[in-house]
Amino acid sequence: MSTKKTTKTTAKTAATKTTAAATPPAKSAAKKTAPPAKKTAAPAKKAAATKKAPAAKKATAPAANKAPAAKKPPESHAALVRRARRINRELADVYSYAHPELDFENPFELLVATVLSAQTTDLRVNQTTPRLFAKYPTPEDLAAAVPEEVEELIRPTGFFRAKTRSIMGLAKALRDDFGGEVPGRIDDLVKLPGVGRKTAFVVLGNAFGVPGITVDTHFGRLVRRWKWTEETDPVKVETAVAALFPKSEWTMLSHRVIFHGRRICHSRKPACGACPIAPLCPSYGEGETDPEKAKKLLKYEMGGFPGQRLKPPPDYPGKPAPPLAAG
């Protein structure tokens, strides 16, 4: 009996231990597994929230940026005409003394001087022509000249061989076809050697009083900066600008624009801070905007320096240019 009871007791105890031993691991496993599940769930929510936030920002950011970037409506033709004519009036006040910057006494001298001005400055031409016209004062004289002698006289203007052919050729054409006189019609002028529309309009406007627009490099650069036209071909520029102004303004408009281009609105570094039409210029800021620094960029009479003519008009406010020997 004692042995049986002991056996039963031992069996119960073993069963109890076995059950107890089996149960705790299950609970322990549950406890250990549960927390990771919670930890995993929380980061998942945060990650989801984090992903959504940038998406919302990206959606709203472009909407906020669109309003300031809205483009201005294109300028109407009527508004362009008003702005262009106002610029012309402002320039007329500033350059009331605007004039052709080549020295000449008659249409023949102006024609020759304009041909010589290609690829050089009016100043250099003015310093060169006194000796040329002293030796060859008429088309007949120049037509009969020795080419090598003409080349030496005009050498300072550059491209002297080609220019000699042009001025001697036009002198011969004037002598043979026009009785030694410069014609007053553009159709006749452009037939002369070395004479294009630009040269023809310089002569017509300043020697004959026939209105014309002179499209040189300064003129073309400025009218594009002012958004009067986007054309680059001189004839197309001439046509576009002519449509903005009455014909009576064409010659003086040309002088004012060219004056402004040479004195203030330079090619490489415009003096924006010293520009009288800055509020009307859509390209303001391309050059120096500081007023004091801009003043140092001014040229000719604007900067207190000699002009381009040896014999300027009486109302010219600057100093005459020096002769070639003094230059």
Query: How does pLDDT run across 244-256, given as a tens digit for each residue?
Result: 999 999 999 999 9
% of the chain exceeding 90 in pLDDT: 76
| pLDDT score recorded for residue 73 | 86
Q: Give pLDDT tens digits for 42-74.
A: 444 444 444 444 444 444 444 445 555 567 788
The band of 154, judged by pLDDT with boundaries at 50, 70 and 90, is very high
User: For the residues 93-116, what does the mean pLDDT come to?
Assistant: 98
Is residue 216 annotated as a catalytic residue, yes or no? yes
| pLDDT score recorded for residue 235 | 96
The band of 181, judged by pLDDT with boundaries at 50, 70 and 90, is very high
CB atoms near residue 63 (< 10 Å): 8
Contact 321, 138 (CB under 8 A): no
Which one of 198, 227, 233, 269 is the catalytic residue?
198
Which one of 103, 122, 163, 216 is the catalytic residue?
216
Contact 222, 237 (CB under 8 A): no
Contacts of 29 (CB under 8 A, 6+ apart): none
SS (H, E, C) the chain: CHHHHHHHHHHHHHHHHHHHHHHHHHHHHHHHHHHHHHHHHHHHHHHHHHHHHHHHHHHHHHHHHHCCCCCCCCCCHHHHHHHHHHHHHHHHHHCCCCCCCCCCCCHHHHHHHHHHCCCCCHHHHHHHHHHHHHHCCCHHHHHCCCHHHHHHHHHHHCCHHHHHHHHHHHHHHHHHHCCCCCCCCHHHHCCCCCCCHHHHHHHHHHHCCCCCCCCCHHHHHHHHHCCCCCCCCHHHHHHHHHCCCCHHHHHHHHHHHHHHHHHCCCCCCCCHHHCCCHHHCCCCCCCCCCHHHHHCCCCHHHHCCECCCCCCCCCCCCECCCCHHHC
- What pTM value is reported for the model? 0.77
User: For the residues 102-123, what does the mean pLDDT come to?
Assistant: 97
- Please, what is the average pLDDT of the chain? 85
